[in-house]
């Protein structure tokens, strides 16, 4: 087995890079096809979700495989290889198996324990089978990953550690309130009709929304989803389908909107969302200019500027910032001005004076003052300090004014990658937006359930079992070829015996034939059973080579057995329901 995976996910790359590297369905198909057409790879599958892009392949050379798969991933994602490489991870053989099994169990998900990844892995396998890019290795690997994921969810409480991305996103929209109470009676708009959108619609229906409107580029799919929601039994909800050009109008009536399309560009712009909430908040639909890191509103900043101009302060001649005993980031004040040294004791004041005296004059026009002027100011302040013990604190920076933000009237959940909703919507008054980036930040602090450790043990056990089975399977063609050679030797000797003893009757001939075959079977039984056991252990791949060398087996015969074992008919057995 030479399984190789190259990829990037929310754990290795920022959302902005994941967004740019996301692959459309057509790009995923082309990537898989181009991978198997490349020299190092014989099988390929692409696992692309909202927070990961991974390329799995069976390669015959590790370094060449990594180089080729990385290049193909960069080419089809449209992100330059130099830019993409720092965010890529590589797993090989047993580590690659361990990674996929962990992914299938939800251990590597943004929301730990979510089960939606199983459907995405199943879709990945089905696509690779349709493209005939999955051979025996990837068929076995992905089907076993699905079994491991199901086992983890059935034998442990991993579901308690997290939920689907949809549920987690709705919890973030509800901002601590129970989702059912928050959603009850709301009007919902679902943009898209794929698996994620369908899950979102079903979750909203269970939460008790009053109405769901489904919009999709293919109107028939929107109608089908709306019909399913309407006929949903105890969770049935009033639902209707609209075309994509009606989204703007529907947004003006919606309380909550979930978007997850396959679009490569923005579906909802900030201007469209602003227009949708115009008049619903009691405030103009404008961007809230929030203060970050001590910033000020325009009114407060103007007031502070006027106050500074009222009592001008002499600027400093400054040297190395590293030697300055003051906090240079004090907003709105000169480092040598009165406010900067207010409250400083005499010893520190002398240190500051020495720093000013030894400094290099700043060349900015507004700070071009003489060292003598600075020194005179420091001398005067030092005299005051000697008399009073401290410089009196006469003025402090204005406190930061935080503009009031109206309560949200429109809640947006963007689960698409690349994003459907313009990130600028975060700053709109009356709107709360939760997107993949928001979820990534929130999930970093999500609690881990104790069952996670049990799932990890399951993954480790399953990886060991899968590796042993694959290594044992690797030697099977050699064992089959050996037994075939033995059967040919027996047949040749029986034919030679018949030539020498033509008078043997059928009973005698049959008895002799059976005796020879039993002898050969007994001689081969122990070695072949033992070599399969040894080959299943780590490092046992060399036993197949030893067997071929000892019995002088024709490599082409072994290869023919391998090809027959991996034929489409045999692969077809792996393409049933999982």
Tokens 């900043």 sit on residue: 301
| Pure H helices in 136-269 | 136-155, 165-174, 179-183, 195-207, 219-230, 247-253
> 309: annotated binding-site residue?
no
Catalytic residue among 50, 105, 260, 324: 50
Q: Is 540 among the annotated ligand-binding positions?
A: no
16 assigned ligand-binding residue: no
262 annotated to bind ligand: no
Peptide bond into 418 cis (omega under 30): yes
Residue 106 backbone class (left: φ over 0; alpha: ψ -120 to 50; beta: rest): left
Q: Which of 205, 262, 192, 202 is nearest to 49 (CA)?
A: 262
Between CA 335 and CA 134 the distance in angstroms is 67
Is 193 annotated as ligand-binding? yes
- Whether 470 and 137 have beta carbons less than 8 Å apart is answered as yes
Q: Which residues lie closer than 8 Å to 347 by C-beta, 6 or more apart?
A: none
**Given phi > 0 = left and psi -120 to 50 = alpha, else beta, which region is 254?**
beta
The reply, when asked if residue 51 is annotated as ligand binding, is yes
Q: Which of 542, 538, 532 is nearest to 467 (CA)?
A: 538
194 labelled ligand-binding:
yes
- What's the angle, vertex CA 48, arms to CA 42 and CA 52, rounded to 5? 115
Location of structure tokens 């056991």? 533
What one-character DSSP code corresponds to residue 423? Answer: G
Q: Is 196 annotated as a binding residue?
A: yes
Q: Long-range contacts made by residues 465-469, C-beta under 8 angstroms, separation at least 24?
A: 466/97, 466/101, 466/140, 466/141, 466/144, 467/1, 467/93, 467/94, 467/97, 467/538, 468/536, 468/537, 469/140, 469/536
Instruction: Establish whether 359 is an annotated binding residue.
Output: no
Q: Judge whether 50 counts as a catalytic residue.
A: yes
192 assigned to a ligand binding site? yes
Alpha carbons 336 and 315: distance in angstroms, whole number:
6
Tell me if 115 is assigned to a ligand binding site: yes
Tell whether residue 272 is among the known ligand binding residues.
no
The response to whether 116 counts as a known ligand-binding position is yes
Residue numbers in the known binding site for substrate are: 49-52, 109, 114-116, 120
State the catalytic residues: 50
Residue numbers in the known binding site for NADP(+) are: 192-197
Residue numbers in the known binding site are: 49-52, 109, 114-116, 120, 192-197
């Amino acid at each position: 087995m030479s399984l190789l995976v190259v990829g990037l996910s929310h754990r290795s790359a920022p959302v902005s890079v994941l967004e740019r590297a996301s692959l459309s369905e057509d790009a995923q198909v082309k990537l898989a096809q181009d991978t198997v057409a490349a020299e190092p790879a014989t099988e390929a599958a692409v696992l692309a979700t909202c927070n990961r892009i991974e390329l799995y392949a069976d390669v015959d050379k590790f370094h060449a495989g990594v180089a080729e798969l990385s290049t193909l991933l960069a080419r089809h994602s449209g992100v330059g290889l130099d830019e993409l490489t720092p965010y890529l991870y590589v797993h090989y053989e047993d580590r690659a198996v361990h990674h996929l099994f962990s992914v299938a169990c939800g251990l590597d998900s943004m929301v730990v324990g979510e089960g939606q990844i199983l459907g995405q892995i199943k879709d990945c396998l089905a696509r690779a089978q349709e493209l005939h890019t999955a051979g025996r290795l990837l068929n076995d690997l992905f089907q076993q990953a699905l079994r491991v994921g199901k086992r983890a969810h059935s034998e442990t409480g991993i579901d308690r550690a997290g939920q689907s991305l949809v549920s987690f996103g709705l919890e973030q929209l509800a901002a601590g309130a129970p989702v059912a109470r928050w959603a009850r009676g709301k009007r919902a708009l679902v943009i898209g009709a794929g698996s994620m959108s369908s899950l979102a619609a079903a979750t909203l229906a269970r939460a008790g929304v009053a109405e769901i409107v489904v919009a999709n580029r293919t109107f028939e799919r929107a109608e089908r989803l709306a019909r399913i929601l309407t006929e949903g039994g105890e969770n049935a909800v009033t639902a209707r389908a609209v075309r994509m050009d009606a989204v703007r109008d529907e947004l003006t009536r919606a309380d909550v909107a979930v978007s997850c399309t396959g679009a490569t560009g923005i579906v909802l712009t900030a201007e469209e969302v602003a227009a949708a909430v115009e008049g619903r908040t009691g405030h103009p639909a404008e961007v809230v200019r929030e203060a970050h890191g001590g910033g000020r509103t325009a009114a407060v900043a103007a007031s502070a500027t006027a106050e500074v101009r009222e009592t001008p302060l002499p600027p400093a001649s400054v040297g190395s910032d590293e030697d300055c005993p003051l906090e240079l980031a004090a907003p709105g004040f000169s480092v040598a001005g009165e406010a900067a040294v207010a409250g400083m004791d005499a010893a520190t004041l002398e240190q500051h004076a020495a720093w000013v005296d030894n400094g290099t004059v700043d060349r900015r026009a507004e700070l071009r003052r003489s060292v003598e002027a600075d020194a005179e100011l420091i001398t005067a302040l030092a005299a005051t300090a000697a008399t009073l013990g401290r410089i009196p604190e006469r003025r402090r920076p204005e406190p930061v004014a935080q503009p009031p933000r109206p309560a949200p009237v429109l809640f947006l959940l963007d689960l698409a990658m690349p994003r459907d909703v313009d990130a600028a919507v975060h700053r709109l008054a009356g709107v709360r937006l939760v997107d993949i980036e928001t979820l990534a930040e929130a999930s970093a602090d999500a609690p881990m359930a104790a069952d996670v450790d049990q799932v990890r043990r399951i993954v480790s056990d399953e990886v060991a079992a899968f590796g042993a089975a694959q290594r044992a399977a690797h030697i099977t063609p050699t064992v089959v070829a050996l037994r075939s050679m033995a059967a040919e030797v027996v047949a040749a000797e029986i034919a030679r015996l018949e030539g020498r003893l033509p008078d043997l009757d059928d009973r005698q001939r049959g008895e002799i034939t059976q005796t020879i075959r039993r002898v050969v079977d007994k001689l081969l039984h122990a070695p072949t059973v033992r070599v399969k056991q040894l080959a299943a252990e780590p490092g046992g791949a060399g036993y197949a080579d030893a067997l071929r060398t000892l019995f002088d087996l024709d490599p082409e015969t072994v290869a023919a057995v391998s090809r027959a074992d991996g034929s489409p008919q045999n692969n077809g057995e792996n393409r049933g329901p999982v």
